[in-house]
């Protein structure tokens, strides 16, 4: 990891001094103005004509650690956004009008697992992508889970209503899906019943072919009973059984249905 800049050391190019808790931090207006609309306005107002003169800004409502965290995150070394600094950075982003920092924090949070905690952050800072992602997460949880979660008490009524509404929509879609697959199953079932009847009829008729005179050879067509010793009669019967079996092949569809 590269060494982080020491903002307490003055350098020749520094043109802004930020004073926090009595400590002077030497920074550059170009950097700060690029990130923050509030600072940009301030610099323009402080020295509209002479952009080279140095100015001093005193920040009274922040801690030194917090300001340093922000500076480390926006300077070229760009410390990454993390769980430990994202809240601080979002506070700055709002107070100092820093849209790129706000986007960076939202990107970071969106890449994490959605949670009720993030939903509260999304509401507080109006982070729309994160908000949607977390509402989508919340609607998949059970009502019991949501009611039990103490964090849900920090979620606004408006958002809770939205979660419940989307939950109802989700259940309705689910119910429709179920109805559709039920219809499909009923149809498949009817088809199988038809095939079963066909099979039963065929099996019945296979048993009867030994009694049918026209399934015998021409010499034995007029006999009362099948002559098992006649080679021609047996061959004819075998052909007939094979034909019936190949007709029954379509029943295989039953097995492919089971595999789906």
Minimal distance, residue 244 CB to Zn ion, in Å: 20
Pick between residue 62 and residue 236 the one whose CB is nearest to Zn ion: 236
Phi and psi at residue 98, in whole multiples of 5°? -115, 80
Give whichever of 18 and 233 is closer to Zn ion, judged by the CB atom.
233
Residue listed under structure tokens 């010499």: 219
CB neighbour class for 120 (10 Å; exposed up to 12, middle 13-18, buried from 19): middle
**Comparison of 89 and 233: residue with beta carbon closer to Zn ion:** 233
Q: How far is the CB of 239 from Zn ion (least distance, A)?
A: 13
- Least distance (Å) from Zn ion to the CB of residue 226? 9
Residue closer to Zn ion by CB (options 33, 217) is 217
d(Cα 46, Cα 53) in Å, to the nearest integer?
10
Toward Zn ion, which CB reaches closer, 19 or 217? Answer: 217
By CB under 5 A, what part of segment 201-240 binds Zn ion?
Answer: 217, 220, 230, 232-233
**Distance of CA 212 to CAs 136, 222, 240, 244, Å?**
70, 10, 12, 15
Using the Cα atoms of residue 113, residue 117, residue 121 and residue 123 in order, give the sign of their dihedral.
positive
Min dist CB 230 to Zn ion, Å, is: 3
| DSSP string of 144-191, one letter each residue | HHHHH-GGGGGS-HHHHHHHHHHHHHHHHHHHHHHHHHHHHHHHHHHH
Residue 218 CB, nearest approach to Zn ion (Å): 8
CB 243 within 8 A of CB 235: no
Binding site for Zn ion (CB under 5 A): 217, 220, 230, 232-233
């Amino acid at each position: 990891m590269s060494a982080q800049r020491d903002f307490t050391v003055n350098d020749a190019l520094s043109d802004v001094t930020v004073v926090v808790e009595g400590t002077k931090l030497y920074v550059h207006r170009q950097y700060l103005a690029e990130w923050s609309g509030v600072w940009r306005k301030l610099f323009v107002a402080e020295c509209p004509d002479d952009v080279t003169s140095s100015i001093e800004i005193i920040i009274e409502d922040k801690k030194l650690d917090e300001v340093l965290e922000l500076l480390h995150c926006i300077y070229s070394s760009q410390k990454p956004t993390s769980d430990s600094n994202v809240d601080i950075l979002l506070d700055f982003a709002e107070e100092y009008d820093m849209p790129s920092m706000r986007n960076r924090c939202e990107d970071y949070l969106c890449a994490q697992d959605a949670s009720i905690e993030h939903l509260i952050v999304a509401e507080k800072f109006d982070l729309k992508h994160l908000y949607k992602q977390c509402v989508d997460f919340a609607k998949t949880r059970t009502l019991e889970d949501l009611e039990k979660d103490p964090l849900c008490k920090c979620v606004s009524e408006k958002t809770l209503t939205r979660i419940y509404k989307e939950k109802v929509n989700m259940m309705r879609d689910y119910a429709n899906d179920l109805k559709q697959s039920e219809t499909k199953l009923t149809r498949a079932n009817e088809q199988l019943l038809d095939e079963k009847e066909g099979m039963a009829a065929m099996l019945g008729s296979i048993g009867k072919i030994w009694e049918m005179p026209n399934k015998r050879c021409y010499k034995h067509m007029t006999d009362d009973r099948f002559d098992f010793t006649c080679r021609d009669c047996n061959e004819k019967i075998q052909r007939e059984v094979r034909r019936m079996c190949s007709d029954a092949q379509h029943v295989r569809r039953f097995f492919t249905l089971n595999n789906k």
